[in-house]
Structure 1
Amino acid sequence: MTSRTAPPASSPSASPNTRTTTPTRRVVDATTRMLHWLMALCFTGAYLTADGERWRLVHVTLGYTLAGLVVARLLWGVFGPRPVRLSVLWRKLQGLPAWGKTLAAVRSPTALHATWRPGQNLLMALAMALILALVVPLTLSGYAVWHDWGGEWLEEVHEFFGNTLLCVVLAHISLLALLSVLRRKNQALPMLTGRVPGPGPDLAPRNHAALAALVPACVIAFWAWQWNAAPPAPAGTNAHQSENAPNRYGIRHDKKHDD
């Protein structure tokens, strides 16, 4: 008599329908990401609308919004989670001089690779600090131009800081692209999703989603208020034909100034 052996029961892990999930951990909270992308949006829009009568209100509104977002980011850097605090950024910046001396003393490709890797995060911190710092003179000079506190030289100062900030932003993007190629991993993805693959504890334990939703709500409310409070654009006037017509920033010169 032939005995038959029952086939072994398949374990859940051996089921073809079972999908393995790659573990991830949160490294950037939602509020930090929201502030980051709104700042990028406002600067891009303000730079593209810097010239022209038609877009002057948009340019000014986006400039004010950018300044407000920087203030919010600085406050978040004081009261927010530890990874995004200004104290962490400051400690990274303090390591730049020593890293620069080490980089200058490199004599071999192997040593260059070992020195360059820790400096990548330092350069990213430097770009972030420069972006936050440059918004201050950019906004102040733009505010002065808007209120006609200076002449053409002040417009040139405002343009200088705008172009300088653009160079820093482009350097920041280029560094991200270079690191993505070298590390074979999208370095900008954590600022979109907030997470990176891999096991381990979350660097940002809380996502602060409610606060992140409040940020664009405040921005939209400010835009609506700015739009409703703006004076109507003058019709049928030419700034080059009338002395009292508004200039490129919408300023009306009602007084006559002596040459």
Structure 2
Amino acid sequence: MKKIIRVWDLPIRLFHWLLVFCIAGSFITINMGDEFVQWHAYCGYSILVLLIFRIVWGFIGSRHARFASFFPNKEAILNYLNGTSPRVLGHNPLGALSVFALLFVLCVQVITGLFVDDEVSFQGPLAKYVSDSVGSFLSEIHEGNQVVILTLITIHIAAIWYYKKFKGENLIKPMISGDKEIDPSEEANYLPNDLGQASKDGVLQRGLALLLLSLIAVAVGYLISK
């Protein structure tokens, strides 16, 4: 009988899928003409809220959501590439690099987007605080960074396919259910303390996440409405 362990709490799962939805929406709306630019901005503001939440949750969230539990280092990465590192319930070292890279480039994207001014259909809420030359520079970063984001997303999707095809590991299912199923024959491949520490995902945990997300949304709403 397989051992079922809660890895991803509900806040992390909702963050993940809402982020997917908002990123897709931002790319779609920016290519639909000037009349959809404001919807592109709404997607960007939503991504900003989600990113701030994820960063904070990375310090106060459940075990496998915390950055400290999967922060990659050189030794861990080399051991993983050599096949000598134990299996993990959460992000492996390469997966961790992917997570931090995506969070970084998305932060760059939403922050620069706040300063964008195309002088036609949209002005970011912070564009008035910088000079035209600075605004133009940040706008160029905002536009060029799209390629980096799409590249990292492609690598992310390819990694999911690779693990499913060649390692028989479904990475999507746990991000939907929150649980990872461990076959008894595979338990020896994990660290004992890893298997013994499931992520907390109770009412208090979810309530705290909802309160945090609400406060961040209000703060961002205030920022963009000034």
TM-score (normalizing by structure 1): 0.62
> 2:52: which partner in 1?
71
| 1:183 alignment counterpart | 167
Match in the other structure for 1:10: none
- SS of the aligned residue for 1:55 comes to helix
- Indicate which of 109, 113, 124 corresponds to 2:95: 124
Deviations 1:53-90 (A, max 9, x none): 12111100110110111110011011111211112232
Q: Which amino acid aligns with 1:78?
A: F
CA distance in structure 2 between the partners assigned to 1:128 and 1:212 by the alignment: 23
Work out which of the residue numbers 134, 139, 143 in structure 1 matches 2:114: 143
Q: Does 1:205 align with 2:200?
A: yes
Question: Are positions 1:43 and 2:18 aligned together?
Answer: no
Higher helix share: 2
Question: How many angstroms apart in 1 are the aligned matches of 2:200 and 2:93?
Answer: 24
Structure 2: gaps (5+ residues): 117-122, 185-194
Could you say which structure has the larger radius of gyration?
1
> Which residue in 2 is equivalent to 1:243?
none
Shift of 1:44: 1.2
Query: Match of 1:14?
Result: none
Amino acid aligned to 1:181: K
- CA drift of 1:36 comes to 1.1
Q: Which residue of 2 is the match for residue 88 of structure 1?
A: 69
Distance 1:175 1:78 in 2: 26
CA distance in 2, matches of 1:35, 1:168: 18
Distance 2:2 2:70 in 1: 30
Secondary structure at 1:184 match in 2:
coil
Q: CA deviation at 1:23?
A: 4.8
Partner of 1:160: 144
Matched, 1:99 2:95: no
Give the secondary structure class of the aligned counterpart of 2:8: coil
Aligned counterpart for 2:11 among listed residues 24, 31, 34: 31
Residues 212 and 171 from structure 1, CA distance in 2 versus in 1: closer, same or farther, beyond 3 angstroms? farther
Deviation at 1:202, TM superposition (A): 5.7
Q: Does the aligned pair in 1 maintain the 2:63–2:200 contact within 8 Å? A: no
After TM superposition, the score normalised by the length of structure 2 is 0.70
Aligned residues: 193
User: 2:86 & 2:167 partners in 1: Cα distance?
Assistant: 10
CA RMSD between the two structures: 3.5
- Provide the identity percentage: 24
